[in-house]
């Protein structure tokens, strides 16, 4: 068997496998019928009837775990969906990076500070972010905590959906105080007022089942990177992997013959593959053939994360190569992971303008290649963090330490996320025409 990439070095293998066995007996986190629902929604995406928003933390943590925080994650996705759906009339398929995103791939296996070299942080599911000899050792007991936190997150999401919190009729209650006075808040409020008066009209006139009728209540699917294969295999139910509705394979593990591609090619879940600039053009078809030999519609999403500087050069070639498979393959854009930089004061960050430039290029390229842009993928949070530069409040290098909370990659904050949702709505409506890129 080939070496499995990006696996932690567990100090005690026996304990690790014992814990994996234990998790095998736990209830699954999602169910095959829900996975099938997502698959059927993705078939609608392939027909151009729906649009995907996939978003959430780079890494969920044990610390940032409260009812309020989970609710805020949902609220920001709900708000973005409302903006795009209202402006474009396209229904949204919401997929959170949530309820399982606890393990991270790393470029370097070790981190050195001064004279001390320790294993890199691989997500709270494996070890601690604290740079301490004991805490950085991979500890499989953490997988149990990751499981339980995923389960309670799922529990809250299900309860919020069941109790109508995510219904469009609740749009007034998703407002965030902090937005009320900002220019973006005013723009958002106009949308909320329009939707509210439309809903009032629907009620008064007795109409249902129209754009915002009963059948449009929000659904949220879960996703995370399938990286720790033993953990994922503990959730098998026939060919469904029930740790999340959708799984993705990251840019570091998606080589054609990797164990990660072997694993996901046998699953019935929808699968996403991150496509970074090191992709070999001939490999992209081989990967696709391996995971979707029957060319099932909406089964595979390619997440382009090429970076603002590479997208124009690489993406058209990839799209042309894949055109043979038709609209069954979905292309979505992650404008975050190819654009990470280090700020002057050492913070890992991303520039808002770079992110939106990549996004705009993506839409323009899809248009030029006559394919549909099927969705977007972001690292974002409902909290008002200061992790990415720029945006409406013009976060600068010196502001980054005000509220820098991510343990891994920098996320768009609440307002930056809404700003991007307005841009996406515009791009979808205008198909990229006449939109000027930002220079900086
Ligand atoms: C991620 O999505 O957090 C990630 C590590 O992505 P990629 O595999 O694209 O680098
Ligand atoms: Co990330």
Measured in whole angstroms, the distance separating CA 426 from the mean position of its chain's CA atoms is 21
Q: How confident is the model at residue 214 (pLDDT cuts 50, 70, 90)?
A: very low
The CA–CA distances, whole Å, from 414 to 184, 237, 382, 393 equal 11, 37, 5, 11
Q: How confident is the model at residue 190 (pLDDT cuts 50, 70, 90)?
A: confident
Domains of the chain, first to last: 13-166+217-430 (3.20.20.70)
Instruction: In whole angstroms, give the CA distance from residue 238 to residue 250.
Output: 24
Mutate to test the pocket of ligand 1, among 55, 126, 252, 411 (most ligand atoms within 8 A of CB): 252
Q: Is pLDDT at 73 greater than 50 in this prediction?
A: yes
Residue of the CA atom closest to atom 3 of ligand 1: 58
Q: Is pLDDT at 177 greater than 70 in this prediction?
A: no
The ligand 1 atom at the shortest distance from the C-alpha of residue 97 is 2
Instruction: In whole angstroms, give the CA distance from residue 90 to residue 346.
Output: 41
Instruction: List, as one string, the DSSP characters of 85-117.
Output: HHHH--EEEEEEE-SS------S-SEEEETTEE
Residue 253: nearest ligand to its CA? 1
The ligand 1 atom at the shortest distance from the C-alpha of residue 305 is 9
Section 21-30 average pLDDT: 98
Strand partners, 379: 56
Q: What is the pLDDT of residue 189?
A: 79
CA atoms within 13 A on the CB side of 78: 27
Instruction: In whole angstroms, give the CA distance from residue 270 to residue 272.
Output: 7
> Which residues sit with their C-beta closer than 6 Å to ligand 1?
58, 105, 250-252, 274, 276, 305, 337, 409
The ligand 1 atom at the shortest distance from the C-alpha of residue 59 is 3
Instruction: In whole angstroms, give the CA distance from residue 419 to residue 187.
Output: 10
| Residue at token pair 């995971």 | 291
Neighbours of 29 (CB within 10 A): 20
191 or 434, which is more confident: 191
Distance 275 CA to ligand 1 centre (A): 10
Tokens of 401: 């330490």
pLDDT, tens only, 266-305: 999 999 999 999 999 999 999 999 999 999 999 999 999 9
pLDDT, tens only, 308-329: 999 999 999 999 999 999 999 9
Q: What is the pLDDT of residue 23?
A: 98
Instruction: In whole angstroms, give the CA distance from residue 373 to residue 394.
Output: 28
Instruction: In whole angstroms, give the CA distance from residue 343 to residue 397.
Output: 6
pLDDT, tens only, 128-165: 999 999 999 999 999 999 999 999 999 999 999 988 88
Q: What is the pTM of this model?
A: 0.94
386 or 219, which is more confident: 386
Length of the chain: 440
Tokens of 412: 């768009």
Mutate to test the pocket of ligand 1, among 250, 339, 406, 407 (most ligand atoms within 8 A of CB): 250
Instruction: In whole angstroms, give the CA distance from residue 163 to residue 241.
Output: 27
């Amino acid at each position: 068997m080939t070496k499995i990439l990006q696996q932690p070095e567990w100090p005690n293998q026996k304990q690790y496998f014992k814990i994996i066995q234990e998790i095998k007996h736990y209830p699954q986190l999602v169910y095959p019928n829900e996975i099938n629902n997502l698959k059927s929604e993705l078939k609608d995406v392939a027909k151009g009837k729906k649009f995907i928003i996939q978003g959430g933390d780079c890494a969920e943590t044990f610390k940032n775990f409260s009812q309020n925080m989970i609710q805020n994650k949902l609220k920001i996705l709900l708000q973005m969906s409302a903006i795009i759906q209202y402006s474009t009339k396209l229904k949204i398929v919401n997929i959170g990076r949530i309820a399982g995103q606890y393990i991270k791939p790393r470029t370097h296996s070790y981190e050195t500070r001064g004279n001390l070299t320790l294993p890199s942080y691989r997500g709270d599911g494996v070890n601690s972010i604290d740079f301490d000899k004991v805490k950085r050792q991979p500890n499989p007991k953490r997988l149990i905590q990751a499981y339980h936190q995923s389960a309670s997150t799922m529990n809250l999401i299900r309860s919020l959906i069941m109790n109508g919190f995510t219904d469009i009729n609740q749009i007034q209650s998703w407002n965030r105080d902090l937005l009320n006075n900002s220019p973006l808040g005013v723009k958002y409020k106009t949308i909320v007022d329009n939707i509210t008066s439309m809903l009032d009209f629907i009620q008064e006139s007795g109409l249902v089942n129209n754009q915002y009728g009963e059948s449009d209540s929000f659904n949220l699917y879960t996703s995370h990177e399938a990286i720790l294969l033993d953990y994922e295999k503990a959730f098998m139910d026939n060919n469904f992997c029930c740790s999340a509705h959708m799984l993705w394979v990251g840019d570091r593990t998606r080589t054609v013959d990797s164990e990660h591609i072997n694993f996901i090619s046998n699953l019935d879940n929808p699968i996403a593959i991150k496509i970074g600039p090191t992709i070999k053009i001939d490999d992209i078809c081989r990967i696709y053939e391996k995971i979707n030999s029957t060319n099932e519609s909406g089964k595979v999403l390619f997440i382009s994360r090429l970076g603002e500087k590479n997208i124009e050069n690489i993406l058209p070639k990839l799209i042309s190569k894949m055109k043979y498979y038709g609209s069954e393959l979905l292309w979505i854009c992650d404008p975050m992971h190819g654009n990470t930089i280090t700020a002057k004061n050492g913070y890992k960050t991303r520039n808002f303008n770079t992110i939106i430039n990549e996004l705009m290029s993506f839409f323009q390229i899809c248009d030029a290649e006559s394919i549909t842009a099927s969705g977007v993928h972001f690292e974002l949070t409902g909290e008002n963090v200061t992790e990415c530069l720029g945006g409406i409040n013009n976060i600068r290098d010196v502001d980054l330490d005000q509220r820098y909370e991510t343990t891994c990659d920098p996320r768009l904050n609440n307002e930056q996320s809404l700003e991007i949702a307005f841009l996406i709505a515009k791009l979808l409506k205008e198909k990229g025409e006449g939109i000027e890129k930002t220079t900086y």
